[in-house]
Chains A and B, each alone.
Chain A
Amino acid sequence: MSNFYTDNPDLKHHLGHPLMEKISALKERNYTDADKYDYAPVDFDDAMDSYEKVLEIVGELCGSTISDNAESVDHDGPRVVGGRVQYAAGTQQNLEACRKAGLMGMAMPRRLGGLNFPITPYIMAADIVSRADAGFENLWGLQDCAETIYEFANDDQRERFIPRVCNGETMSMDLTEPDAGSDLQSVMLKATEQPDGTWRLNGVKRFITNGDSDIHLVLARSEDGTKDGRGLSMFIYDKRDGGVTVRRIENKMGIKGSPTCELVFKNAKAELCGSRRLGLIKYVMALMNGARLGIAAQSVGISERAYREALAYAHDRRQFGKAIIEMPAVYEMLAVMKAKLDASRTLLYETARFVDIYKIYEDIARERSLTPDERAEMKHYSKLADALTPLVKGMGSEYCNQNAYDSIQIHGGSGFMKDYACERVYRDARITSIYEGTTQLQVVAAIRHVTTGTYINLMRHYKAQPCKNELKPMRDMLTSLVGLYEEAVTTVTSIKDAAYNDFMARRLVEMAGCIIMSYLLIEDANRNDKFTKSAEVYTKMAQAEVTKHSNFIRNFTPEQLAFYKPE
């Protein structure tokens, strides 16, 4: 039996980042909860010890029950019986184990029954769960939705719903419809207000992950006659009230244990969450950012699994009289896989820490007014989180797919057979760069941080950090990449042509991503020698990528777009 937390010391490295001391103190309001709750930490060491010990529980469940069930869950999948979802037997076991282990409301405050964990260790749990079974991560990770209730619902709703989530009831976010996928402004599910203040929902939702959950967040059109996002509101639907049936579940390529449902709402009773008209423009945006960070964690977890499967096979498999890992063509692939894994993971936790700080300040602001300094800090980290979230979701999920591809490649013919886990990993990986906004849409979200300078400022910040002498050559090389990036940004933005700008956006975003992840890996290597190899491999790759994009942009004129345009 293995433990997916303790067998991976990289996780402890990220959990032990110096910024955690500040995050923990803020989250625990200087450890004042300890007087009220007998499970609250008394100081920073105590808090860190708790994070670690709870992650050990997560690691143990993932290294046993959840990973043991992954294959049968993938095979059996959920079914629809009489309009309800019936999970695969393994899924039921997994959920039961997570409930008993008390892992269902990790980031919720103690007064509502949660563990009051910062986002960072919670995201680490998501990373671990995804390594065991990416499909199960979806069900477990939907506890994120409680965050939306916590942030935007009223006190009464918080007290009624959040403790239920902490006790193990599952959630879903019912956003997409047959004609409203990426374009959520077109949502048509109709919400009608009743004289008693409750609402009735009518219509169809499609592609709803865990659509037969206990508590749903539903995006619906509350304003009759409107056609855009401003006519949409957020609702809470409680399965106990009835009115929603599952018409079918999709037969998917991967994450097969996670039911993707088509839901029919027939006069389903629901209650408004927050204010009318803010459903899409405020709440879904917030919900989406949390969900994107979750998918980034899922991507990293899958990457980890893909890498481990490949590494183990490359050690075992002998050809031409030696283990295949001894061949440069194979060990290069493995080194690059590890570098991509480490790069996306370090960006994941950097983002999680930034999210932590601004969200905790937001929460403190619910209790008292912030000082001007605190407010400034909140805005600073909020902007950074907003900038890094699409970057880690976009690039992390692409790396995850690349690693899953290479994992099979290293397995050779065997990897194409159903006998090895790498084929499941490959299928599970595929969705990460699609849902919660495709990679292309992550570029749309990220590009404004190219043009407004958030990324370049962050690069300058990293550059100013002290580092060991032996890492300096890498840092110096990055300085030249930053120069290429700035030049490319100037070139692209100086041409006022929207189609050309959109066309180049992904290149600029990828350049920023490569450079930022390189800086972060050097920072990891600065704290811990074990990351030096990945830092070396990744910065070499970043150099090639950034130079490639730079050359493309230099040698491209807006007129050449014509070669790409459809006839």
Chain B
Amino acid sequence: MALPARRPHEHKQVALHNALTVLNSGAELDRPDTPDEVVTAVRRLPAVEAAYAPFPDDIDPRLKAAFEARGVHQLYSHQAEACAHVAAGRQVVVTTPTASGKTLCYNLPVLDRILKKPSSRALYLFPTKALAQDQMAELHQLAAALKDAGIGEVGGEGLGIHTYDGDTPQDARRTIRTRAHIVLSNPDMVHSGILPHHPRWAKLFENLDFIVIDELHAYRGVFGSHLTNVLRRLQRICRHYGSNPQFICSSATIANPAELAERLAEKPFALVEKSGAPRGEKFFVFVNPPVVNRELGIRRSYIAESRRVAGEFLRQNLQVIVFAQSRLSTEILTTYLKEDFEDVPGMPERIRGYRGGYLPLRRREIEKGLRAGQVRGVVSTNALELGIDIGALDVCVMAGYPGTIASTWQRAGRAGRRRGQSAAVMVASSAPIDQFVARHPSFFFDASPEHALVNPDNLHILVDHVKCAAFELPFTTEEHYGQVNVQEVLGILQESGLVHRSGGEDAAGQWHWTSESYPANAVSLRSVSSDNFVITDHTHGSKVIGETDFTSALSTLHPKAIYMVEGRIFQVEELDFVGRKAHVREVDCDYYTTAITYTKVTILDRFAEDAPKVALHGEVRVVSRVVGFKKIRFQTNENVGSGELDLPEQQMHTTAYWLELPLPLMNALPYASDDRRDGVIGLAFAMKQVAQLLLMCDARDIGLSVNTDDPDGSATAPSRRSADGATAETPRIFIYDAYPGGIGFSAPLWGMQQELLEKTSALIAGCDCDSGCPMCVGPVGETGPLAKQVALRMLQHLQVSTLDGSSEDLSTVARSAKVEEVPF
């Protein structure tokens, strides 16, 4: 189908209403929630009027003139509030919606300080290079306005505003180091390119007044834990040069912005959260794909439903962004929409895909196409969730619940302007969490967004940064770092010859770096490994078409895997594990592949042993291995084949929460052993979904593993082995932090276990299906016919035994059984 010609701007409103009316089968656009219908909720979020405040009195009048020239005649209330905190010398974090003028909250005080004190310096940190480029463009426009207002120079030099990242040419770097007033960079570059070379940056560090951290909410989990350490190192260097920078941070809406800022910068923060910016009217719609098989609890595919919804808006010539859950579903949806809206040969492509792993040039081209309006629809992973400038689109369609409330609002914010109407549509998948949200819209609309958690004292991360810090500046024997005893860490590093303590045993001394290596090179902030796999296409000659991080390489680039880029289909011919390369060739086929991964968890150390022992948390080793793959046909999603793989295993040490199902309990259940095991697996499936909801974390942040009574205890998937005797080993359900060293989910989950079991019970009991479905204990074909029933019985027993305290003797029995344990 061809897209109709572009309509004049004033028709947009009509177009939006038309599309929404079609989706909503003609019903009212703001109506009560109806969990049983396809459109379960339509909420009209009314337009909001602006709240203004005057510019601060003491601001440089020329700066005020420059802002006025850019159309800013007064401030929004939150901007004025933020400036007041900065003026009072406080660290501040601003959390207001997308497009509310957050950048002014830091640009105004920073530029004002530079005008008053030309030696002053500021460092801006963005989570990506592209965001820094975006911001530099905005600052340059301000600088041009300043020039018109009569300020061509400060302190006899031009106002220096520069990005400094991996793309900065070598010959420009020297100038930037000494002349830039504002350096826009990213944590990775600070970590590996600036801090290790701090003597060359002496001028910046001596005069550093502000550190600006934009998109603060992006720094959670591993990345955030690394950032705390980078900021520790940064502040350590600042102390060395005698500066004490003030922090100004901005964040999307999360539950704990001030707490997160305090964890990252390790200083007290003031919070500004009431936005004074105006907002246009927005419709928020929840769509739950219709049930096509009630017994099996199967709904129409949410991908197909998202395709239909996005198509409805595209047909009205509205500009649409579709967020998909994974790289794979991004590619699948791109393929579908490209089919529906075929391009005219020779014209720019109107439907594009966008995700990490595309080369930067392609990404810039797509962003530009979106701003110019030639690209009418883009299907993206969360890569476009952050503030990359793609203009304001009309509609956001989310294919699947993004997993967190914060992320859902953030994505919805990519559509909509300060005036005029926009819409956001969430299409629920059959994952239990999606179903829960689709059926309980008020959970989303009325609840607080998530907490962002970091664990900067994760020993793996901390040790890496102690090495970097020692390289940058010798540690003194009195120095503190983080919450651990850094002197002990340094002692261990000395054992491996990495540092050397100078000065006598008793006298105050220093720890010097004694290795030829450059430790920052070995540490990647984005993951636990800095290794990337490069994907090379050999269809015509050889050409690099993308890259993938180490952790997902084995499951997405194994031999015979289907790899997609913007709808083009490639097959992996060879995975060169040592050379970190995947060789692919374009193929024509009608299926994609998903990997089958087996995971085995071994307990290394138990915490909270004196508490009731049915559930525990502690340290574990997780070994996982991609053992095979399934071929799934496009459109129908039927399984059309499979293959076995022999790939190396990956392992990590992390923290986990686990639930033990004591053997007496298991053996007391009136079911066959296969059914009991099915029950455990079904219970685990449901528990993970509830855990994700309770922890308010991303699905990828936690992993699930079950040890059943398989002889090697390693399989998570059930093997239909007939077992005649009683269950011999205590089954355990592990919910582990999916990062080496853990990022702090296990202890809180253990603390909430009563709620965890109750909510799991409610989820399973409240599900409409007969004997298990993807929305509770997992699809019946995979979990077995009695899983639902058995899981519920287990929960009843568990809750009773936990409550009456009889767990003590049950678990004693459990612990005497043969279990795989490794003494730590």
Chains A and B belong together in one complex? no
Q: Tell me the A residues contacting B by CB distance below 8 Å.
A: none
